[in-house]
Amino acid sequence: MRIAMWSGPRNLSTAMMYSFAARGDCAVVDEPFYAAYLERTGIAHPMREEVLATQTTDTDAVVRSLLGPHEGTHFYQKHMTQHMVDGIPRDWMRDVAHVFLIRHPARVVASFSAKYDATTLEDIGFIQQGALYAGLRDIGQRPVVVDASDIRADPAAVLQRLCAAIGIDWTERMLRWPAGGHAADGIWGAHWYGAVRRSTGFAAAEGPLPVLSGAQAELAEAALPSYRTLEAAKI
pLDDT in tens, 141-178: 999 999 999 999 999 999 999 999 999 999 999 999 99
Mean pLDDT of 8-21: 95
Mean pLDDT of 189-203: 95
Q: Give me the sheet containing 2-7, strands edge to edge.
A: 26-30, 74-80, 2-7, 97-102, 144-147
pTM for this one? 0.95
Q: What is the pLDDT of residue 33?
A: 98
Determine the Cα–Cα distance for residues 102 and 230; give it in Å rounded to an integer. 8
Q: Are 150 and 156 in contact (CB under 8 A)?
A: no
Task: Please determine, for residue 117, whether its predicted confidence score (pLDDT) is greater than 70.
Answer: no
Residue 70 sits in which domain range? 2-231
Across 61-77, b (16+ Cβ under 10 Å) vs e yields ebbeebeeebeeebbbb
Instruction: Look at the chain and report how many structural domains it folds into.
Output: 1
Q: What is the pLDDT of residue 114?
A: 75
